[in-house]
Chains A and B, each alone.
Chain A
Amino acid sequence: MPDVNVTIDGVRVAVPVGTNVVDAARMVQTAIPVFCYHPRLKPAGMCRMCLVQIGTPKVDPATRQPVLDENGQPVIAMMPKLQTGCTTPVSEGMVVKTVTEEVAAAQKGVLEFLLTSHPLDCPVCDKGGECPLQNLTMQWGPGKSRFDYNDKVHFEKPVKLGDLIYLDRERCILCSRCVRFQDDIADDPVLGFDMRGRNWQIISKSEPGFDSKFSGNTTDICPVGALTSADFRFKARVWELESKPAVCTLCPVGCNVSLDMRHDELMRVMPRENAAVNDIWICDKGRFGHRFIASSDRLTTPLIRRNGTLQPATWEQALQLVAEKFAAVLSSSGPQAVGGIAAPRLSNEDLYTFQKFMRQLGSDNLDHRVGAPGAPVLDDLVADVGVGVGTDLNALGQGTTVIVVGADPEEEAPVYMLRLRAIAERGGHLVVANLRPTKLDRSATLRLRYGLNRDIAFARALLKAVHEQVAFQNLNARTQPG
């Protein structure tokens, strides 16, 4: 895509066509404060936090040429009003000013306004410590409010939007990020607004409430502590937590997560950005399905069977025992007598380490597949023509065709549903073939149905057709005169 040259606070930068002013400024390390804007969501222009001064080169109406000053530089016509950077796409020669008196006054004004209705209950708010409202107030806001504390609006707090998510309407700054996430990214349009003016408020429109497998993500993108999860409410202060990088094992997507620990205790699971896998999202299973870790039914130490009963042991003892057993088999029967089967949901790094270990022992007997012996091996096919090393899901869009066969991603690999939808949103073709409708059908550009147990046949027939088509084209190309 062609680039557009813009000047932001005196710094020139070339950015792709269509970039908005907030994102263009980010590229030159200039932060324009935002609340309603989120890079993954369509801009709404509602909170008015990102107001900046914008000018464009003055054009002579007669010649349609830019007007130049005495130094040969284009004359810039600044717009009379401040503009929202999040909704303004850059244009050639645009000049943006983010640090002027007017801009500072507007930023301070918007923050003061937002805080007039805010309950200021940071000390008991779960978002405290990682709250954009707190942070932006520190940087851009007024030090003191002139609003009479008695005039604050009050709502019953909190209300349950659903079993998993609570809403505190006093803290909500009405940025609509949660609504737009549910509408546009998750395709579960279950949140909405009710009433108007100062009584405008978020509601759940579904029965049961907030019926979505992705609801937890709204607590991440909510720029205040209005949306909190039943799982983490009042569990810990965020500055007590230490984030440990991990990979979710609950489905084949392998979303990158961080396990937020207080000492040895897991307090919450958060998404960890990885464009190749989960972007910035995770599903509610991955986020909330972690209580088993602390379950009393779980093994917490290795057990060694002695005299027919399992007895607790230390890791040293257990590893020692395993090593001895391996050594015995290797010396009596050789390396071909041992083999390794790894769970398919391990991360690539874990699988790599595992095979390295087996090969160090001298064995190539390795497997990690699920399914019955003799079942067709589809992994190799996917490795050939599907998503592979280096595939950038965020870059897929127009000019891409994705075929989903016999899968129900929302159930089986939830975050893939978001990724596939996004590809279709960016103009890609999404072909969904299944024996029954799934939610992904709603985003599909083409839906195909086949009969029960016909998925492999369908895939083969499709490949055959593609193969023939390509062969035919090749043949045509070769027999074309000239």
Chain B
Amino acid sequence: MALTEHVVMRELDIPGIGDFDIYRQHGGWDAYCVAVKEQTPAAVVAVVKEAGLRGRGGAGFPTGVKWGFLPKGVYPRYLLCNCDESEPGTFNNHQIIDNNPHQLVEGVAISAYAVEANTAYIYMRGEFAAAARTLEAAIARAYAEGLLGKNILGSGYDLDIHVHRGAGAYICGEETALMESLEGKIGQPRLKPPFPAVAGLYGKPTIINNVETLTNVPMILQKGVAWYRQFGTEKSPGTKCFSLSGHVNRPGNYEIPFGLPLRELIYSPEYGGGMRDNRPVKIIIPGGASAPWLTGDKLDVTLDYEALAGAGTMLGSGAVIVLNDTVQAPHLAYKMDEFFKHESCGKCTPCREGTHWLVKTLHRMTEEGHAYAEDIPTLHSIYGQMAGNCFCLLGESAVMPIKSALRLFPQEFEQLVTQNGNGQHNGKHPIALESVR
């Protein structure tokens, strides 16, 4: 059953919530005013911790716990809102900004107060020009209302929020690459440790959270922990905006409580509305391109961090991509890894060279129709040589499509090899002669 009350996609409950005055009439910015005037930062952190809010950016790390990692007494601190939203299949951050921008800005403001930051940046994916304008307008209004700026509501607390647009790179969603980019450098991940909470932006303690994570915060403060925890499971409390895409009848963002079965998201008329042309589900990628695949028979898995991890995959960014039986696994792996190859920053060897090699091989096998028996063990060892050896998680994620495809659908690769036996060579890939090479 669809939610009657939403935490994030509240445009479904309150039409016109994207308007500042309407947002304000429905209690918007109240939690922030109370926090700034009456609560200590530590008290706000405690509430978020108790609510069990988990980061929606991919790792599901408990937000309140993360905020507690800041070293005591070191200032200035920064709060960063990650709106790079580049994971294939993920599109809820953009919708949040389109429909409920003030709640995000309030979330950024409350969280900045909680972590004692006087400056917050919202880092936007370069392509999100319209969304950036929406946010800038929302922020400008908050300044005009005295909710941002110096000595806010006479509390002595100062806060500035800036919107920064990147140049459009998936890697800039990785927290340390985002900081490099924000500092004006080439967007590539940094060595960790030091972790951002200790030395992040400009070498100062920094907290970084996803758009959806921060949009949860005002409601947690406004309605309380008990209200929040009525949704979801014990370990995955609250709701999640799943971005459903692929061969479903109704692709789109659906906010549902954690713990709903995958089947319901795909087939319920309120959500996915079933598969197009009633074809069977063949592959589900439940957490964005970085998540290991599930086969179509895993529809009873529930959508929460624990259950998906138990099924050998992950909830990731909550991008659920559902594909039917017209999709060939090798081709899907090729398309997915083409993305990672394109986005690899180039810093480390396994990702830079591994994705290049994977894509060259998969392109030849699937698009050019030239697959050889030795390609299969080679593909296995390419991802094997990448797995666990990359500098950051982008390279590790690039392993997932090819590994999933080879593990779950080995026969489709073998078929490519057999089909190749018809003598249709394109002449571009002569075999090596032992005495020549």
Binding site for B on A (CB under 8 A): 43-49, 51, 81-82, 87, 105-106, 109-110, 112-114, 116-117, 144, 146-151, 153, 173-174, 192-193, 195-200
Contacts and interface: CB of A to CB of B under 8 A. Distances in A.
B350 A109 contact: yes
B353 A148 contact: no
24 contacts: A45-B391, A47-B349, A48-B350, A48-B389, A48-B391, A82-B389, A87-B191, A109-B384, A109-B385, A112-B385, A113-B349, A113-B350, A116-B357, A148-B364, A148-B429, A150-B428, A174-B346, A192-B186, A195-B346, A196-B169, A197-B343, A197-B344, A197-B346, A198-B344
A110 B389 contact: yes
Contacts of B385: 105-106, 109-110, 112-113
Given A146-B378, A148-B360, A148-B429, A46 B348 contact: yes
Given A43-B191, A197-B355, 12 more contacts: A45-B191, A47-B349, A48-B389, A82-B388, A105-B384, A113-B353, A116-B356, A153-B356, A192-B186, A196-B171, A196-B344, A200-B346
A105 B347 CA distance: 21
Contact of B347 (A46, A117, A149, A150): A46
B77 interface: no
A76 to B, nearest CB: 19
Interface string B15-32: 000000000000000000
A117 to B, nearest CB: 6
Interface of B: 169, 171, 186, 191, 341-350, 352-357, 360-361, 364, 374, 378, 381, 384-386, 388-391, 428-430, 432, 437
- Which of B186, B346, B381, B428 is most buried by chain A, counting CB atoms within 10 A of its CB? B346
The 5 lowest CB-CB distance pairs between A and B, nearest first, are A200-B346, A109-B385, A113-B353, A151-B360, A197-B344
Contacts of A48: 348-350, 389-391
B161 to A, nearest CB: 29
A110 B352 CA distance: 11
Contacts of A45: 191, 348, 391
A149 B344 CA distance: 22
A81 B186 CA distance: 27
Nearest to B395: A48
B35 to A, nearest CB: 34
A107 B386 CA distance: 11
Contacts of B348: 45-48
Contacts of B356: 116-117, 151, 153, 197-198
Given A106-B385, A196-B346, A117 B391 contact: no
Contact of B341 (A47, A106, A114, A198): A198
Contact of A81 (B341, B388, B437): B388
A423 B362 CA distance: 52
Given A51-B389, A110-B385, A113-B353, A197 B191 contact: no
A405 B389 CA distance: 50
A48 B391 CA distance: 8
Contacts of A116: 353, 356-357
Nearest to A115: B353
A149 B428 CA distance: 11
A197 B170 CA distance: 12
A106 B346 CA distance: 18
Contacts of A197: 341-346, 352, 355-356
Contacts of A46: 347-349, 391
B391 A198 contact: no
- Which of B171, B343, B378, B385 is most buried by chain A, counting CB atoms within 10 A of its CB? B385
Contacts of A144: 437
A473 to B, nearest CB: 36
B367 to A, nearest CB: 14
B95 to A, nearest CB: 28
Nearest to A192: B186
A63 B177 CA distance: 38
A195 B429 CA distance: 28
